[in-house]
């Protein structure tokens, strides 16, 4: 039995570029990914995009023994990149290009779906019993969204050690540290650690909009304390971010030029029209065009439907 989703036309995402600096709290909503409860930060009703970043889930922190908290069966993507980043624990990635990666904290797992790929994400059988991390999607601009799919698993990223903490760009470049992850729009994603009792500053670009997320600990920016599991939209026209922390903290900062194209996000697809979404959905249901994740033992995910379409009878 398929799930019913709203029609793609109702899932239109436009950037709402801030004309100025701001500090808007966007609280997470709770979503179930199989048996795993996740906090969804993007998209939310009032904000669908920050730069090209169009999706943001936080999972964990949680501890487990016998269970397999992450078990996402084969499913397709088009028109986007998925970027996974862990604070603790491990996740195994497999895809229909036969890539395999055991993703650990500090490893970049970046899948450029382009015109189509299928993948799985699972807790491995040998694990630490911890799971804490995020998954982002980055919308591909029109000029790059039809390219061949590609996967990168990078265990060591360049880390900056400014006074007060650590900064690791996982997408884009900052102060001479550049992520090897493929980027197709002017964008940045960084992991920030602020040491206890310290202040950390980093440069921002006035033409970028930014979102800031506190993952662990306590932090204050621009004189305001931050709540955990809440995304703060910082707007544009800022030259610097300064974070203070009493007990130490871990944050993620997303940024980019306001995305110039209107996108449609439906299920696991980013496209430009409902016809494209329907075509990708039919191709997945017909087992065409995305390949097979041979390493996964178990059934693949069935695509949902939306009211008004006549899905192919499989
Ligand atoms: Mn996926």
pLDDT tens per residue across span 156-175: 999 999 999 999 999 999 99
**Who contacts 212 (Cβ-Cβ below 8 Å, separation ≥6)?**
221, 226, 231, 232, 234, 241, 251, 252, 253, 254
pLDDT one digit per residue (tens) for the chain, 314 residues? 457 787 777 677 776 656 789 999 999 999 998 888 999 999 988 888 999 999 999 999 999 988 899 999 999 999 999 999 999 999 999 999 999 999 999 999 999 999 999 999 999 999 999 999 999 999 999 999 999 999 999 999 999 999 999 999 999 999 999 999 999 999 999 999 999 999 999 999 999 999 999 999 999 999 899 999 899 999 999 999 999 999 999 999 999 999 999 999 999 999 999 999 999 999 999 999 999 999 999 999 999 998 766 544 43
Sheet arrangement for strand 187-194: 21-27, 230-235, 209-217, 249-256, 187-194, 165-171
Cα–Cα distance between 174 and 11 in angstroms, integer?
A: 33
Torsion of CA 230, 43, 76, 96, to 10 degrees: -40
3-class state of residue 101 by DSSP: strand
Q: What would you measure as the largest C-alpha separation in the chain, in angstroms?
A: 61
pLDDT of residue 199: 98
CA atoms within 13 A on the CB side of 17: 17
pLDDT of residue 127: 95
3-class state of residue 276 by DSSP: helix
pLDDT of residue 115: 98
CA of 182 to the centre of ligand 1 (A): 17
Contact between residue 291 and residue 161 where contact means Cβ atoms under 8 Å apart: no
Contact between residue 108 and residue 179 where contact means Cβ atoms under 8 Å apart: yes
CA of 75 to the centre of ligand 1 (A): 6
Record the pTM: 0.94
CA of 204 to the centre of ligand 1 (A): 30
By C-alpha distance, which of 31, 51, 30 is closest to 261?
51
Beta bridge partners of residue 252, listed in sequence order: 191, 213
For 208, the token pair is 């970028």
CA of 82 to the centre of ligand 1 (A): 7
CA of 121 to the centre of ligand 1 (A): 8
CA of 194 to the centre of ligand 1 (A): 30
Phi, psi of 312 (to 5 degrees): -50, 135
């Amino acid at each position: 039995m398929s799930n019913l989703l709203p029609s793609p036309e109702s899932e239109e995402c436009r950037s709402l570029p801030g004309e100025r600096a701001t500090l808007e709290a966007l609280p997470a909503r709770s979503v179930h990914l199989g048996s795993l409860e996740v906090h969804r930060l993007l998209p939310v009703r009032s904000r669908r995009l920050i730069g090209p970043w169009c999706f943001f889930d936080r999972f964990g922190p949680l501890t487990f023994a016998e269970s397999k908290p992450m078990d996402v069966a084969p499913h397709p993507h088009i028109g986007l990149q998925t970027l996974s980043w862990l604070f603790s624990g491990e996740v195994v990635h497999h895809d229909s290009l036969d890539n395999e990666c055991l993703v650990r904290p500090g490893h970049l797992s970046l899948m450029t779906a382009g015109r189509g790929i299928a993948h799985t994400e699972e807790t491995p059988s040998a694990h630490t019993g911890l799971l804490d991390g995020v998954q982002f999607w980055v919308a591909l601009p029109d000029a790059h969204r039809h390219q061949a799919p590609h996967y990168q698993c990078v265990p060591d990223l360049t880390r900056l050690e400014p006074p007060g903490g650590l900064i690791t760009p996982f997408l884009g470049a900052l102060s001479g540290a550049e992520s090897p992850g493929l980027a197709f729009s002017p964008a940045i994603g960084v992991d920030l650690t602020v040491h206890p009792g310290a202040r950390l500053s980093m440069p921002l670009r006035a033409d970028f909009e930014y979102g800031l997320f506190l993952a662990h600990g306590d932090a204050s920016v621009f004189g305001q304390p931050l709540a955990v599991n809440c995304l703060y939209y910082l707007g544009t026209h800022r030259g610097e971010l300064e974070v203070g922390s009493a007990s130490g903290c871990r944050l993620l900062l997303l940024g980019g030029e306001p995305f110039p194209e209107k996108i449609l996000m439906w299920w696991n697809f980013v496209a430009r029209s409902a016809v494209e979404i329907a075509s990708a959905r039919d191709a997945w249901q017909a087992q065409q065009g995305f390949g097979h994740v041979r390493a996964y033992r178990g059934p693949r995910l069935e695509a949902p439907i939306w009211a008004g379409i006549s899905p192919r009878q499989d």
